[in-house]
Amino acid sequence: MSNYPFRPGSPKSFTAYPRGDFDLESGTIRRTRKHRHSPLQPIKMIRSIGNRLQYYCKLHPLLVFTISLSVGVTILLLFSLYESRFEMMASYKKFDMGSNSYPLPNLQNLVMVAGHSVYTSSSCGKVDKEDSWFLESYQKNPGQAATFVAHIQEGIEVAAKDDRALLLFSGGETRRDAGPRSEAQSYWAVAESKGWFGKEDLRSRTLTEEHARDSFENLLFSVCRFRELTGTYPRNITVVSYDFKEERFAHLHRSAIGFPESRFFYAGTPAISTAKEAARKGEAIVRAQFQDDPYGCRGSLYHKKLGRDPFHRSIPYPNGCPEIEGLFRYCGTDPYPGSLPWPKS
């Protein structure tokens, strides 16, 4: 027999705690009202928050303005960082392509001819005449134009001996009075007018680098241009310029980019006899400047570069050579300490 006679459902069962609120005075039970969920409740909450914000704005206008400004600036900075990162990743992805995507993927060696003037004649029949070129005062010497043609021919001769060589004419739009014509395009046009000095097959692997403003940029920008065209960095580099500039290129500039000496070559042609002494003196001054400022990023060398950019051309590098981006950003007297995509020795 059960010890609990008053089971639920039993006739004698009772509810000990009735549902609802029990009123002691009246002895009745008041039913609890169910809360109705009004669809306007979220709107009321928003209005309430808005009223509070409006109240705080009136009470502390300067504080609210400062907080709002800080939040706005933070959002702009975040968007800016995101955009910069996105552009960088897109740029890196663009140049991280297969070898078939590059114009000249089979070339391994670089031959660079450094430009020294802009060809301004409307006719290509007078390439060895001084009045066909835009000359600075120190260049206005009989026979000067012929030295430019000699550089072009020497570069063609060197590159023609190496089937894996890319020939680059390097030099930007450096002279305001010459108009928006680059030194590199001038040299390419002269080579074309000369029938590539009998080496027409070289035409398909001869291109230009049209942004360099000094000799260091001739070398650095051409290395980057080589990467854009081949997908790799040059195994060997040959520079063509005046013979009295060999020390500057082969030692100072080569050391600045950390390229191994055993894979760097120089092909120099002589200056005209009447200007050799002046050329040597001028070269000694420039060489001393690069010894103090190897990357040409300060003082007189930097301002000289600015003067050689009369049309404010945007320089695309190092977009085409992301592996050496740090080298482009570096400005110091010591050798670049970062990693490079070629062995240093």
pLDDT for residue 61: 77
pLDDT for residue 147: 97
104-329: CATH topology: Rossmann fold (3.40.50)
How far does the chain reach from its first CA to its final CA, in angstroms?
A: 103
CB-based contacts of 272, cutoff 8 Å, min separation 6: 141, 142, 143, 144, 146, 147
For residue 173 the two structure tokens come to 């739009």
The 10s digit of each residue's pLDDT in 116-137 is 999 999 887 789 999 999 999 9
The 10s digit of each residue's pLDDT in 295-334 is 999 999 999 999 999 999 999 999 999 999 999 999 999 9
The label of the residue with tokens 């000095």 reads 197
Answer for the pair 266, 242: CB distance below 8 angstroms, yes or no.
Answer: no
Q: How far apart are CA 239 and CA 256, in angstroms?
A: 15
pLDDT for 19 beyond 60:
no
For the chain, the domains span 43-95, 104-329
CA dihedral 218, 224, 228, 231 (to 10 degrees): 130
58 vs 273, higher pLDDT: 273
Answer for the pair 173, 180: CB distance below 8 angstroms, yes or no.
Answer: yes
Average pLDDT of the segment spanning 51-70: 76
C-alpha count within 13 angstroms, C-beta hemisphere, residue 144: 21
Q: What percent of the chain has pLDDT over 90?
A: 67
Q: How far apart are CA 157 and CA 177, in angstroms?
A: 32
pLDDT for residue 2: 47
**Which secondary structure element, helix H or strand E, spans residue 170, and what is its range?**
strand 165-170
